[in-house]
Amino acid sequence: MDLKNEYLHQEKRFLQRWMKQSIDACSRLYIFLKIHDAWVYHATYVLNIRVYMSRFRCFGNKPGQEFYAHYHDFEWGVPVHNDTRLFEMLILEGAQAGLSWETVLKKRVGYRRAFHNFDVRKVSEMRDAALEKLRQDKGIIRNRLKIYAARKNASVFLEIQQLFGSFDTYVWSFVGGNPIVNAWETSQDVPVTTKESDALSKDLQKRGMKFVGSTIIYAYMQAVGMVNDHLTKCHCYANLAV
Ligand SMILES: [Zn+2]
């Protein structure tokens, strides 16, 4: 074998070895990932959550508050024009009185089950026996006054729908049809009531609704996007400020 052939032969063997090793390395990596599938998935998940939770938001950034962060990012302050959703938020905000919003929000599924998916007519027609039964339901806030207020508020909600065509038309008229866009820099700047919430609260109370004080109503207005109270440094602010 001459020198040239010897060289080519060695080159070929080197390449074959290299390819075999590379394929082996890929296979080993593939097998490793397969064996540790759950672990890799978990690590990726944890990393994603870390990145997600590192963004600035007005609330919901504490450890374990991922669901609250999701609510903040996708619901809080987004304008709502659907009557069923407007009714749902009204009942939930009323149930919040004296408690944290996070506590009530965690019971949202329980509320949907207990109150016919917030079908206003069905809630207005709930009998006393059904309401009394809800006082044992751990899925909701078991406060008698709040439970009965849901039915009363449903009746008033229906009356408003009849008078104005929709609750949406009625409630948004208190802010002239468009969201009020604020520009608060710190959470201390955000008010708990405004003249608009005073007016809406007063009108709802006059019509017979319960648990609709001005503070509750202002929180409601923030939640359904009638007012944009995301802080200016919040990543949601700009999207909702237009
Ligand atoms: Zn925010």
172 noted as active-site residue:
no
Asked whether residue 230 is assigned to any structural domain, the reply reads: yes
71 noted as active-site residue:
yes
Asked whether residue 7 is assigned to any structural domain, the reply reads: no
Instruction: Give dist(CA 51, CA 70) in Å, integer.
Output: 13
In terms of residue numbers, what domain contains 178? 77-240
Which residue in the list 68, 88, 93, 184 is annotated as catalytic?
Answer: 93
93 CA from centroid of ligand 1 (Å)? 18
Instruction: Give dist(CA 127, CA 153) in Å, integer.
Output: 14
10 CA from centroid of ligand 1 (Å)? 66
Asked whether residue 22 is assigned to any structural domain, the reply reads: no
For residue 14, give the 3-state DSSP assignment: helix
135 CA from centroid of ligand 1 (Å)? 34
Which residue in the list 101, 170, 172, 184 is annotated as catalytic?
Answer: 101
101 noted as active-site residue:
yes
pLDDT digits (tens, 9 = 90+) for 189-218: 999 999 999 999 999 999 999 999 999 999
**Helix ranges, 2-143 (H):** 3-35, 37-53, 66-74, 83-96, 101-106, 108-114, 120-124, 128-134
CATH of residue 122's domain is 1.10.340.30
Which pLDDT belongs to residue 191?
96
Which pLDDT belongs to residue 1?
62
Which pLDDT belongs to residue 211?
95
> pTM for the whole thing?
0.81
228 CA from centroid of ligand 1 (Å)? 9
The answer to whether residues 130 and 148 touch, using CB atoms and an 8 Å cutoff, is no
Asked whether residue 212 is assigned to any structural domain, the reply reads: yes
Which pLDDT belongs to residue 9?
85
Asked whether residue 81 is assigned to any structural domain, the reply reads: yes
Asked whether residue 69 is assigned to any structural domain, the reply reads: no
Which pLDDT belongs to residue 166?
98
Asked whether residue 17 is assigned to any structural domain, the reply reads: no
Counted residue by residue, the chain has a size of 242
231 CA from centroid of ligand 1 (Å)? 6
Q: What is the number of H-type helices and E-type strands within the chain?
A: 13, 2
The single-letter code of the amino acid at 179 is P
Q: What's the total number of domains in the chain?
A: 1
Q: Which stretches of the chain score pLDDT less than 50?
A: none
